[in-house]
Amino acid sequence: MTDLIYTDTLLLSLLQARDETALSAIDRQYGKQALHLAMRILGTEQDAEECVNDALLDLWNSVPPAEPTSFLSFFCLLVRRRAIDRVRYLTAERRAGSEYVGSLEELEAILPAMPDEEDSGEISDCIHDFLESLSNRDRRIFLLRYFRFCSHREIGACMGMRESAVSMKLTRLRKKLREALARRGIPL
């Protein structure tokens, strides 16, 4: 039974029924990707594992009422938030030089600071749709900055662009994301 692949619909049903096997199934199915994301942000396996476990608890507490359409996206959103909170805690005295914090500050003006549980799923869906609407190049630039926390210089080197061009592109992408969120009626 450990090799069973659960559909997102089944996982949602298990969580709504408060069946604890859903958490172990989610961890088996999406845990490696979530751990990789947390490791990329935090750099230590122990902190990353703690964030994944905390995100599982957050998932348990948010479903219901939240009904994510993509468990991987929703779970990674929760892991990312936990990891970012941990980075903020660990780097409170050294904020100025951190790419993590720099990219977070860029998004703070766009994303709601503390969305309620219902808005989290809507925000996740909106960001997913926004990313799908971008060209491959723009999507890669956005993901390198806001999910991989690469510096403008690193993105420029990777994409064959000048740092200033990367900065301008990211400004335009943030504006497009803000407009997409506003169209969905998500409070900013």
- pLDDT mean over 65-88: 85
Residue type, 167: S
- pLDDT mean over 113-126: 67
Give 37 or 5, the one with higher predicted confidence. Answer: 37
- 124-163 pLDDT, tens digit per residue, is 888 889 999 999 999 999 988 888 778 889 899 999 999 9
Does CATH place domain 95-188 in 1.10.357.10? Answer: no
Does CATH place domain 1-90 in 1.10.1740.10? Answer: yes
Residue 1 confidence class, pLDDT cut points 50, 70, 90: very low
**Phi, psi at 23, each rounded to 5°:** -65, -45
Domain ranges of the chain: 1-90, 95-188
Q: Which two tokens stand for residue 186?
A: 């998500």
